[in-house]
Structure formats: C-alpha cells, structure tokens
Amino acid sequence: MYRFINWFTSSVLLPLVPMGGVWLIKGIESGSFAIANINGADLLFASAMVCVISLIRLKKLTNKDLLEGLVSIFSFGLVVSIVLFAWSLVYQVQADLAFFNFFKLTSEALAAGGDVKLALGSIDPLSYNDKIDTFRIIGFIVVSVVVPTATIFNFTYDLDK
C-alpha cells in the first residue's frame, strides 16, 4: 500500500496540483466548486505530465523489447495529450478574446452614447462554451485512460522501485 501511495502522490497528484489550485481559486471566487470550474487544458496537461513521469521511470527497465514497447505507448499518450492541450488552449484564448472584444465594444458604445446592440453586432461571447466543454470531457477521458495505464504498467513491471 505504501508503494501505491508513494507512486500515486509523485506520479498522479503532483501533475494535478496546478489544476486543483485553479479549481480551488475558481471555486472560491464563484462560490461554487463545480466540474465546470475544471479546465480541459489543465486535465490534458496533467495527463501529459503523467506520461512524462512514466517515461522517466522507464529508465529502470533492462529488457530492451519491453522498454521500446512502453516508451512507444507513453510517447503516444504524451503526443496525444500535448496536441489536445494545445488545441484546448487555442479555444480558451479565443474565448477570452471574444469576451474581451464584447466588453470593449460594450464600454465604447456606452461611453459614446450609441446603441449597444448595434455596436456588438454578431459577437457572441459564449460561442466557445461548447468547445471548452468538449475539451473538458476529452480531458477527463484522456486522464481516465492514461492514469490507469500508468498504474498498471508501473506495478506490473516494478517501475517505482
């Protein structure tokens, strides 16, 4: 049990610390600790870090064929996690820019005494919510694949010793 706790804290909880911190701050600010406060990019980054830590632990293997196979598996997980992380981050930045433009145009229209509806035109600051929610779900799916895979391989091949 001690081995599992040691591995779990160093290989899984450590990569999840940034996500947990952001979730905690968002929860305190909004007064609600909800799943919606979890960012898909944070989950995907944590998944990538689990893969990196697992790749580092592979240096203890002496069987060349096993080493090559596990490196391929964790490298694939790392590449998938990083690509999805970057993609999620792009949508998050675009959503932030849409909010920024929305509030900027609203402020300018109010300061000029103009029609706010006309100034905003077709800007929808919530247009990226579906994409962000999709990446949150994808992040949970990727983490739910990577962490058990890392756990199984770690304890099957004694990578933590």
Burial of residue 126 (number of CB atoms within 10 Å: 0-12, 13-18, 19+): exposed
pLDDT at position 48 is: 96
How far is residue 82's CA from residue 52's CA, in Å, rounded to a whole number? 11
Query: Tens digit of pLDDT for each residue in 47-62?
Result: 999 999 999 989 888 8
The tokens describing 71, both together, are 């490196």
- Cβ 102 vs Cβ 125: under 8 Å: yes
Listed in sequence order, the DSSP H helices in the chain are 2-8, 14-30, 40-57, 64-112, 116-120, 129-156
pLDDT at position 122 is: 72
Query: Tens digit of pLDDT for each residue in 11-37?
Result: 889 998 988 898 899 899 989 888 888
pLDDT at position 68 is: 94
Q: What is the value of pTM for the model shown?
A: 0.86
The tokens describing 114, both together, are 């103009």
161 pLDDT above the threshold of 80: no
Residue holding tokens 């081995």? Answer: 3
Query: Tens digit of pLDDT for each residue in 96-109?
Result: 998 898 888 888 88
